[in-house]
Structure 1
Amino acid sequence: MKKLSLCFVLAFLLVTGCLVNAQPVDPGFINGDLLPNAPELAARGSYGVGVRTLKLVHPAQVDVLHGSAGQHPLYDRPLTLEVWYPTRTSASQQSTVTYQSTLGRSNDPKRPLVPFTFPGRATRDAQPDPSGGAYPLVIVSHGYPGSRLLLTYLTENLASKGYVVVAIDHTESTYSDLAAFSSTLLNRALDDKFVLNEMARLSGKGSNSFLSGLLNADNTALIGYSMGGYGVLNAAGAGYSPQALKLFGQMSGGSTALEPRMLASPTYQASLDPRIKAVVAFAPWGMERGVWDAAGLANLKLPTLFIAGGKDDISGYEKGVKAIYEGAINADRYMLTYLNARHNVAPNPPPSASMQPGVSADEYMHYAEPAWNEHRINNINQHFVTAFLGIQLKGMEYGKYLVAPAGDSTEAWPGFKPRMAVGLELHHAKP
């Protein structure tokens, strides 16, 4: 009888998710779900969401981690992608997927790698839904370090609204393969452009890919967080300064491999891609280090949404993200600021694995904000990114959601429930 009772208790714990690590922090909560006070456009769209993993190789790239200045070998650079897309299943049919990620740093013995899983709401390898025609493409670039799964609350949400969303694992910049910073400085914009080219190829007729006919690479937005923001701004027109080349040389033993991404380089100007229509930059890194000067920022001419923490101590705020926003004088640009937030205004909430005994507190703080609820940030990001991309890529009438209320009023902020639009600032500037 005692044995039977014990088996019953264990079965009950497994079903309810009460065993350690069986569920995320909030039982039954999946990253990207709505809190009761979520703004209007945070809600999922009408499509079900599929997800697949792709592995690509970018051939003959400069291996800045080996060789010496001007004599770097070339290597075939592997890239793993996660692709979310609309499916034939209804959004009301709740499907879950288990994502596998890692905490820690591969190059730091004090922060050993800790594999973990977390749930999402998508169907692995589902059949795509071609009824929406060729969907706009969104390419997502993570921070340093990070992973392609760092923003699943947003990538799934956008796919449910009729986008094909591709997130990159930037080689030598993920938790599990972290290498010297010079690789990240060099490769971010190059990875973004290569992935755009590959998505165009795979979406073509006769490609034998599930993406054939599914996306329109001529209608693309880039989303980047931290070092991802550094890369997408450069890919979109913000050419790097002479100071950036100097900084890169200091970190790479005098290498000049970054020179083709400088504003003054003819190679850079030729690389700018008209298929890119809009940019979302979460806490982009580099301004405080002189990565851009006035001319470089003035060369950014695409509609851009900046999202930042008012107390960002990694990318900086007044002399960092806000300075980029103010310097991009030729772009139709918005800036959403989370007051009293620091740098972590983009990722998923902290995974439950980051709170287990023996795991460095740094793993939790890599995701967490000290003064904000991370689920709340996620919902607000879903709302504003939906509005911005809806305008830029789909021509939707979402302009009212990107207008802040006058004065100190919080009652009139479109899309927010009464009393809920606090702690935010939204600015808009035109060329």
Structure 2
Amino acid sequence: MGLYLKPVIYLLTIVTLFFLTAAALMPSCDPTFNTGFGLGAHTLPPASNVSTAEPTGPYEVGVRFETYCFEGRGVTLNYWYPALPKVGSSPYVSAGGIVGKAVKDASVDSSGGPYPLILFSPGLAAVDDGYYFYTQNLASNGYIVVSIQHFDARNANVTSQKFALALAAIDAAAGNTIDAVIEEYTDFFRETQFALTYRPQEIEFALDQAIQSAGNESSPFFGIINTNNIGMSGHSLGGFYTNIIGGGMPIYCDYLMTPIQQNPDSPVLSEVSPCAFPARQNLSGPFALHDSRIKAIIPLAAPTFLTRSQLARSAAQVKVPMMTITGDNRTSETTSWVQRDIYMNVAGPSYWVKIKDTNHYLVADSYGLNPVLSANMSPEDRANFFDKAAVYMVYSTAFFDYYVKGNETAYTALHTISSSYVKELSSRNYN
């Protein structure tokens, strides 16, 4: 961000406030807001029609985008669903240049409906269709998957603060990747109060819209969504909010905090508690964000903003079935011990899957297969993409089949090592 004279700042502030106020009053939103492909505010060249892993289920897949006006801005929901594509239809190419088997706006296949609903929350700075193989595969196995184009998808920006960037580099090298990302995006996270000012609201809005579409005769999803069988999954930042909203993991603020933990202006944001911010202080309590409509969750490489001393205590309140899927790359995947601590302390059925030679981007194929980003990955992480993607597909499908659909035949797959790329597979409290 450049330097400006105070009068200019004042004028820009007034103009910005005017347009923000006007936008909130407008009956419709700019459909081009928050669109295009990139990593947050950083635009990336898409891949050149790179094929992703093929779906494993019996259904063909459709993909559909619906944009709504929400809090003065456009929010796009990306539906993946069992479909009946026309013969000869071309497959959808994602914004990131990934090609699968889904066909855009294909007719809905109602033969197996109503289908359970899976709400998907992408990672920080990731676009809604950036997880092609993962969302496509669930749809092919008889789910309606709704992925959200979050505010940060094209608006999150890396800080320009040299101190924060230096600290992020040190933490990443030491394997403290959660802290590294908080420091790398320290300005954005401070402004949005760890995304509490918009992520929970967008997630609830998306879930409400999907449920409403099931009862709307003008919607292509009328009558084919089972609104009593709902699961949630999310990657990275989306995984954190999957734990909080879908899992009911509370954000406690009743413990003794250090002055740094209570200071929202601390230069080291990774040491600050969410409790320091109004967005948490204004909630009715630690469980305020929990949505009991969600019956099972899969956090993918979920970080946390909670004070580490409170992790086990908060995790113990998660009673819905949970499956954690993560890679094993020490310097580019979400800090393993944090994820493991949550897995070991949840009260409900809990599953742990760690994938060999896998980094943070693999499940987000628009990024994992992007030529710019993959050039900086190790040869091990780049190798055998399809085999590693299969691990995500096998276990996520088996988990939701068992705990959302109630399909007991999925039990064996949940407890069987499916591939040499399954580095760790364990479970707790299962039934």
Q: TM-score under structure 2 normalisation?
A: 0.70
Instruction: Specify which of 305, 311, 318 is matched with residue 300 of structure 1.
Output: 318
Aligned match of 2:304: 286
Q: By how many angstroms is 1:248 displaced?
A: 6.0
Deviation of 1:217 after TM superposition, in Å, equals 2.5
**CA-CA distance at 1:278 after TM superposition:** 0.6
| Residues 97-123 of structure 1, C-alpha deviations (whole Å, 9 max, x = no match) | 12223xxxxxxxxxxxxxxx3323122
Question: Is structure 2 residue 103 aligned with structure 1 residue 123?
Answer: yes
Please report the RMSD computed on the Cα atoms of aligned residues, expressed in angstroms. Answer: 3.3
Find 2:210's aligned residue among 187, 199, 202: 199
SS state at 2:381 partner: coil
Distance in 2, matches of 1:195 and 1:368, equals 38
Post-superposition shift, 1:31?
1.1
Rounded to whole Å, the distance in 2 between the matches of 1:249 and 1:294 is 27
Alpha-carbon distance between aligned partners in 2 of 1:291 and 1:194, rounded to the nearest angstrom: 32
CA distance in 2, matches of 1:368, 1:287: 31
8 A contact 1:341–1:372 mirrored in 2: no
**Which of 77, 81, 104 is equivalent to 1:85?**
81
Q: Alpha-carbon deviations, 1:112-152, whole Å to 9, x = none?
A: xxxxx332312211111222222100111111111111211
Alignment of 1:413-428 (within 5 A): 413=417, 416=418, 420-428=419-427
**Partner in structure 2 of residue 133 of structure 1:** 113
Tell me which residue corresponds to 1:332. Answer: 349
Matched AA of 2:117: L
State the shift of 1:218 in Å.
2.2
Structure 1 position 383 matched with structure 2 position 361: no
1:259 matched residue in structure 2: 281
Among the aligned pairs, what percent are the same residue? 24
Q: State whether structure 2 residue 331 is matched by structure 1 residue 313.
A: yes
User: What letter is aligned with 1:31?
Assistant: T
- 5 Å matches for 1:103-118? 117-118=97-98
Partners of 2:318 and 2:348 within 8 A in 1: yes
Of Structure 1 and Structure 2, the greater helix share is in 2
Aligned length: 340
The letter of the residue matching 1:257 is: A
Question: Quick one: structure 1 residues 213 and 311, their matched pair in 2 at CA, closer, same or farther if it must change by over 3 Å?
Answer: same
Superposition deviation, residue 165 in structure 1: 0.7
In the TM superposition, what are the counterparts of 1:8-407 in structure 2 within 5 Å? Answer: 23-24=48-49, 30-33=51-54, 44-59=56-71, 76-89=72-85, 95-101=90-96, 117-171=97-151, 173-174=152-153, 176-179=154-157, 180-182=188-190, 183=192, 185-186=195-196, 187-206=198-217, 208-236=218-246, 237-242=248-253, 246=262, 250=266, 255-259=277-281, 265-266=284-285, 269=287, 271-286=289-304, 290=308, 292-313=310-331, 316-328=334-346, 330-348=347-365, 350=367, 354-355=370-371, 361-362=372-373, 364-365=375-376, 370=381, 373-396=384-407, 397-404=409-416
Instruction: State the SS of the aligned residue for 2:80.
Output: strand
1:32 partner letter: A
Give the Cα separation in 2 of the matches to 1:367 and 1:340.
9
Structure 2: unaligned runs, 5 residues or longer:
1-44, 158-187
Q: Is the 8 A contact 2:81 2:139 kept in 1?
A: yes
| 8 Å contact from structure 1 (residues 222, 276) kept in 2 | yes
**Structure 1 unmatched runs, 5+:** 1-19, 34-42, 60-75, 102-116, 356-360, 405-412
1:21–1:232 CA distance, 2 compared to 1 (3 A): closer
Could you tell me the TM-score, scaled by structure 1's length? 0.70
Shift, 1:400, TM fit: 0.7
Tell whether the 8 Å contact from 1:226 to 1:315 is kept in structure 2 after alignment: no
- CA drift of 1:84 comes to 1.0
Deviations 1:161-204 (A, max 9, x none): 11111111111x11x32251243521323322221111111211
**Bigger shift: residues 146-155 or 343-352:** 343-352
